[in-house]
Amino acid sequence: MQENILSVGELTRELKALVESSYPSVSVRGEISNYKLHGSGHVYMTLKDEDAQIPAVIWKSHRRNSSSELRDGLQVVARGRLEVYPPSGRYQLICTSVVASGEGALQLAFAELLRKLAAKGYFSPEHKKPLPAVPRCIGLVTSPTGAVIQDMKNVFERRFPAARLLLFPVKVQGEGAAASVIEAISYFNAPTDPDLTPDVIIVARGGGSLEDLQAFNEESVAMAIFNSSIPVISAVGHETDVTIADMVADARAGTPSIAAELAVPDSAELLRAAETMTKRQGIAVSTKIEGAERHLHSLLGSYAFNKPVVALERLDELAGFLVKQMSGALGNSTRHTEQRFASAFQRLSLLDYKKTLERGFALVRKNGMFVTSVSGLAAGEEASVLFRDGEVKVEVIEHRDGCGTGAVQAPGPAAY
């Protein structure tokens, strides 16, 4: 069987692929030696311990992630990736960060958690809740002793004394500090008494070393702040200190006093703003009233507004004229009707049978009916003869038709 013989380049390339794929990210503790800052801005050095050594490089673009006091003899923790350099056939550590060994572990843990939470969106602006403009109640998560709580109280009393302060005392460093902070945030989000629910929470402590602030770089504390339904202001350490809690919180303050100023408005400014707003509203209302009055006067004097009044006046005048005409016409009609009635009455009077009787005529009536023909009477029948001045009962003695004569005898002795 023929032996597989590799060239130096082939072997180096295989080793390069194997090493670089196996160690894409590695942290190494060691002592710096042969430290050299090149004119290009890159740093070349060696990391060593009692057993071995490895060349290391910090590219110019990553120097900001390293301590500014790197020097020979300094114990550090370097984080980066392994790279095989074929021309010299050696491997080296390409560093992305180098920190002093005392804080190195904490720095590395901080960086790792920072990347993890950033990938989950914990620092995204869309997850930041707005702070209330005028909080009714403020929850304080800090130590009950020391300058921090007193500094914040002084700011609240000066800026907005109406705010109600609720203190949940916690440990701010050492063992159990993270659990204490988580308990306080959880309590304010679900208090036993609804009146103890704050509008905003301030998590605060004074400055200190990275180890002193470690409780506020714990993932559990970051999750408690992120999941809080109440806006959280973080004020951990001094202005230059930045913790995971600061970046996850809805607002970050450089100091606890600044956090208090962020949480509440300035009451004096509120009063000035209220006075200004009142004046503006008064001016605006007065301007509107004056404008409305001018508009109203314009309408009252306009032809369009007065046209109905003029029309009504004309209609009233026309109505008076029509009433006058109708009254005159009605009077004329009434007089004409009266005259017609008088004329008709006069004509009717001429037809009154009494007038005929007065002229010497008489009427014959039988059984209540007037007899106008001889045929209406028979011999022996009784009738009445109506004269101008009375009525006489008669009996028919003889009846003649046509132009003959006859006689009517009144009851009793004959008149002839």
Residues 34 and 90 in one domain: yes
Q: Does a structural domain hold residue 331?
A: no
**Whose CA is closest to 70, among 100, 94, 96, 91?**
100
Is the distance from CB of 185 to CB of 228 less than 8 angstroms?
A: yes
Residue 153, amino acid: K
Tell me, yes or no, whether 3 lies in a domain.
no
What is the model's pLDDT at position 338?
Answer: 83
Tell me: do 254 and 141 sit in the same domain.
Answer: yes
Report residues of the chain scoring pLDDT below 50.
403-406, 412-416
170 secondary structure, DSSP code: -
Calculate helix-pair angle for 101-119, 219-226, nearest 10 degrees.
Answer: 30
Domain boundary among 101, 119, 137: 119
- Six-digit token string for 183: 């308990």
User: Is residue 329 included in any domain, yes or no?
Assistant: no
Q: Give the model's pLDDT for residue 311.
A: 75
Collect all residues with Cβ–Cβ distance below 8 Å to 19 and sequence separation of at least 6.
82, 83, 84, 91
Residue 207 DSSP SS3: coil
Q: Assess contact for 246 and 252: CB atoms under 8 A.
A: yes
The predicted pLDDT at position 312 comes to: 79
Q: Is the pTM here over 0.75, yes or no?
A: no
pLDDT at residue 169 in the model: 95
In a domain, 277, yes or no: yes
> Are 231 and 281 within one domain?
no
Last residue of a domain, one of 219, 243, 265: 265
Is 344 inside a domain boundary? no
Judgement on whether residues 133 and 242 belong to the same structural domain of the protein: yes
Residue 47 included in any domain: yes
Quick check: is 349 in a domain? no
Structure confidence at residue 134 (pLDDT): 92
Same-domain pairing of 96 and 145: no
Same domain, 151 and 254: yes
Q: Verify that 365 and 272 share a domain, yes or no.
A: no
| pLDDT at position 416 | 28
CA atoms within 13 A on the CB side of 87: 0
260 and 273, same domain (yes or no):
no
**Is there a single domain that holds both residue 27 and residue 62?**
yes
At 220 the pLDDT is 93
Query: Are residues 309 and 370 located together in one domain of the fold?
Result: no
Q: Residue 260 sits in which domain range?
A: 125-265
| β pairing state of 164-169 and 90-100 | unpaired
Question: Is 370 contained in some domain?
Answer: yes
Task: Give pLDDT, residue 185.
Answer: 96
Distance, in Å, from the CA atom of 42 to the CA atom of 62, rounded to the nearest integer, reads 9
State the CATH number of the domain containing residue 34.
2.40.50.140
Domain count, the chain: 4
What integer pLDDT is reported at residue 324 of this predicted model?
84
Tens digits of residue pLDDT in 351-407: 777 777 777 788 888 887 888 888 888 888 888 988 888 888 888 887 666 544 445
Q: Which residue, among 16, 117, 111, has the nearest Cα to 62 in the 3D structure? A: 111
Same domain, 17 and 103: yes
Are 140 and 250 in a shared domain? yes
Residue carrying the six token digits 């050095």: 45
* Domain termination residue (choose one: 70, 103, 119): 119
CATH number for the domain harbouring residue 145: 3.40.50.2300
